[in-house]
């Protein structure tokens, strides 16, 4: 007998059209072979580990679709380390916005600490909008992520034995804007997550953006953009041989970065899934009233199908083009994965 969760009517949905999703290829840091990740095949990808000083290294990857209508990025080499303003710096002429060097070739900007959500919004307003060339920016949603920082801070607690206090805060923003092109104005949508890390010790406090991850895309390509972003974050790996060449805290931090990239990917995915459920239910009710078909999307790859709209929820068994519909949000059998209406 099937478990109660599967004892429900299920029908094979008639597929009317099928649009292939993304395939991925591994991108290896071309500068120091410090890390690798997977990016969409055929996209233009740049980045690597940028070493500004012996202890100032910044990893960044940016991948853009062939048509230029999707941009996904992780990290940003243009973001320097920051040092907190204080009376001693001010007396020496280093006020907020100025550059200060503690030595070893490191240059820090004097800047007050920003939480993750504040930094994410500031980053979108000051960098992403200019990068993609859009106007009419609207922040459509923002949220702090204490669930994510709790797990990250537990990992960084390992550094306490070395006499350091390290704390991170995470936040995310969703946004929309308009981009002008040869065919007129085009609506764009995007998402960015940022975690800011502050380290304090006897010598004062410094902070930086530890993780900056997100996408900006034409509204019609959001599904593909999300799939590319999840895969980019979830497949990030630090080269252990490179990590061995680092010493002390730097080596420990490299391992933590690898672990937290995976945590970030899985955690924000759960947030998106909850958001999708709400949006899909609204879309489903509207679609049922207007038409007899619906589009369903695999959020892992961006692959999508148009099917007859006769069910409330749709499922796919991996590796198959058979789409199964159910009236409840319970899988029709072992191994079936949910699709989202798009």
Whether residues 53 and 127 share a domain: the answer is yes
Domain boundary among 275, 303, 321: 275
Whether residues 247 and 300 share a domain: the answer is no
The confidence band for 322, taking pLDDT boundaries of 50, 70 and 90, is confident
Rounded to whole angstroms, the Cα distance separating 106 from 248 reads 18
Note whether residue 281 is domain-resident. Answer: no
Q: Specify the higher pLDDT residue, 126 or 258.
A: 126
Is the pLDDT score of 300 beyond 90? no
Average pLDDT over residues 237-241: 87
Supply 8's token pair: 């429900």
* Cβ–Cβ under 8 Å, residues 306 and 294: yes
Average pLDDT over residues 94-109: 85
Whether residues 160 and 304 share a domain: the answer is no
Whether residues 198 and 308 share a domain: the answer is no
Whether residues 271 and 300 share a domain: the answer is no
The least confident of 14-28, 158-172, 244-258, 302-316 is 244-258
Note whether residue 285 is domain-resident. Answer: no
Domain boundary among 247, 275, 303: 275
Note whether residue 137 is domain-resident. Answer: yes
Note whether residue 104 is domain-resident. Answer: yes
Domain boundary among 275, 308, 331: 275
Note whether residue 79 is domain-resident. Answer: yes
Note whether residue 282 is domain-resident. Answer: no
Note whether residue 280 is domain-resident. Answer: no
Whether residues 241 and 296 share a domain: the answer is no
Q: Is 145 exposed, middle or buried (0-12, 13-18, 19+ CB in 10 A)?
A: buried
Whether residues 221 and 165 share a domain: the answer is yes
Rounded to whole angstroms, the Cα distance separating 325 from 75 reads 39
Whether residues 8 and 154 share a domain: the answer is no
* Cβ–Cβ under 8 Å, residues 78 and 273: no
pLDDT at 267: 66
Whether residues 33 and 14 share a domain: the answer is no
* Cβ–Cβ under 8 Å, residues 14 and 305: no
Is the pLDDT score of 140 beyond 90? yes
Range of the domain at 326: 4-18+292-341
Beta pairing partners, 84: none
Is the pLDDT score of 56 beyond 70? yes
Whether residues 174 and 311 share a domain: the answer is no
Q: For the chain, what is the domain count? A: 2
Give CB contacts under 8 A, 24+ apart, made by 26-33: 26/235, 27/61, 27/63, 29/59, 29/239, 32/242, 33/239, 33/241, 33/242
Whether residues 171 and 218 share a domain: the answer is yes
* Cβ–Cβ under 8 Å, residues 200 and 275: no
Note whether residue 186 is domain-resident. Answer: yes
Whether residues 199 and 332 share a domain: the answer is no
- Report which of 207, 193, 247, 174 is spatially closest to residue 79, judged by C-alpha positions: 207
């Amino acid at each position: 007998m099937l478990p109660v969760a599967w004892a429900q009517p299920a029908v094979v949905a008639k597929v009317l059209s099928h649009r292939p999703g993304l395939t991925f290829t591994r991108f290896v840091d071309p500068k120091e072979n410090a890390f690798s990740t997977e990016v969409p095949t055929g996209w233009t990808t740049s980045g690597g580990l940028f070493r500004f000083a012996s202890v100032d290294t910044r990893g960044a990857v940016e991948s853009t679709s062939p048509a230029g209508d999707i941009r996904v990025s992780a990290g940003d080499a243009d973001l320097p380390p920051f040092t907190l303003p204080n009376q001693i710096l001010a007396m020496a002429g280093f006020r907020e916005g100025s550059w200060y060097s503690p030595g070893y070739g490191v240059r820090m900007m004097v800047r007050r600490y920003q939480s993750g959500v504040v930094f994410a919004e500031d980053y979108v307003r000051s960098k992403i909008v200019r990068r993609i060339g859009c106007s009419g920016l609207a922040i459509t949603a923002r949220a702090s992520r204490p669930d994510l920082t709790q797990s990250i801070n537990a990992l960084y607690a390992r550094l306490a034995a070395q006499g350091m206090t390290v704390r991170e805060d995470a936040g995310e923003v969703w946004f929309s804007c308009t981009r002008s092109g040869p065919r007129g104005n085009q609506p764009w949508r995007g998402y960015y997550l940022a975690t800011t890390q502050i380290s304090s010790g006897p010598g004062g406090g410094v902070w930086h953006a530890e993780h900056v991850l997100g996408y900006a895309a034409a509204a019609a390509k959001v599904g593909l953009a999300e799939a590319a972003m999840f895969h980019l974050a979830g497949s990030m790996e630090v080269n252990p041989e490179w990590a061995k060449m680092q010493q002390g805290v730097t080596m420990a931090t490299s391992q933590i970065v690898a672990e937290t990239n995976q945590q970030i990917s899985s955690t924000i995915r759960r947030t998106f899934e909850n958001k999708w459920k709400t949006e899909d239910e609204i879309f489903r009710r509207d679609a049922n009233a207007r038409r007899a078909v619906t589009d369903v999307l695999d959020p892992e790859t961006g692959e999508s199908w148009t099917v007859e709209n006769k069910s409330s929820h749709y499922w796919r068994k991996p590796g198959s083009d058979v789409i199964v519909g159910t009236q409840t949000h319970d899988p029709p059998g072992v191994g079936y994965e949910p699709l989202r209406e798009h």
